[in-house]
Structures are given as C-alpha cells and as structure tokens.
Amino acid sequence: MLIMLTMILFTFILSSIVMFISTLLAKKTITDREKCSPFECGFDPKGSARLPFSLRFFLIAIIFLIFDVEITLLLPLVSVIKLTFIKTWVITGTFFLLILLVGLYHEWNQGALDWSQ
C-alpha cells in the first residue's frame, strides 16, 4: 500500500514539474500571426464585427445546404428498391424529383442562380 501511494505521489509531482517547466519555457506572443490573419471567409478579426456581408454569399450557402439535404433524402431511395413494389418506388421517386425540379425552376426563375451579378 505504501509503495502504491509513493508511486502515485511521485507521478503527481513529476507531472506537476513538467507542466510548470513547459509553462515557463512556452513562447507566449501577444500578437499571434494566426489571430491577426483573416478567417476563411475573408473577414478581418480585428475590425468591427458589425460589418455587413454579402447577402449573395448567404443565399448561395443556403441553396447549397438545401440541395445537400435533398441528396441525402434521395440516397435511401436507391437502397429500398428491393424492399418495395416497383410501382410504389417509381411513383415516390418521381414525385420527390418533381418537387425538387419545381423548386429548382422557382429559384432559377427568381434569379437566385444567376451568380454573375
């Protein structure tokens, strides 16, 4: 029991010493290069957080998210073809794709897919 207590105490002291030495030797810079660089989206991290951003970028991101979810909903349609009747499968798949195509036509008609502006 005494040996086990000694080993635990030795491990605790050794790890505390290593953490203390690493804290002393660590190079701490106030102006870190990564913190001063812009994020992936291009915003300046040191500037104002209230700057407006492009609504076009937000709309493209939302459209991408919607189509990503639609693809996720289409994938199980392929795997259930052997479990359902072919007529039911075709009607369900056609109806779902028709809804997607109507949504795509609506976005195209509203000019949401015209990225040249």
* 49 pLDDT above the threshold of 70: no
Domain count, the chain: 1
For 81-94, the pLDDT digits (tens) are: 888 889 988 998 89
Let me know if residue 45 belongs to a domain: no
Tokens 């509203």 belong to residue: 110
pLDDT value of residue 13: 96
Tokens 């459209």 belong to residue: 63
Let me know if residue 37 belongs to a domain: no
Let me know if residue 102 belongs to a domain: yes
> pTM (2 decimals)?
0.47
Contact 41, 54 (CB under 8 A): no
* 114 pLDDT above the threshold of 80: no
Let me know if residue 16 belongs to a domain: no
Let me know if residue 3 belongs to a domain: no
Domain range for 89: 53-117
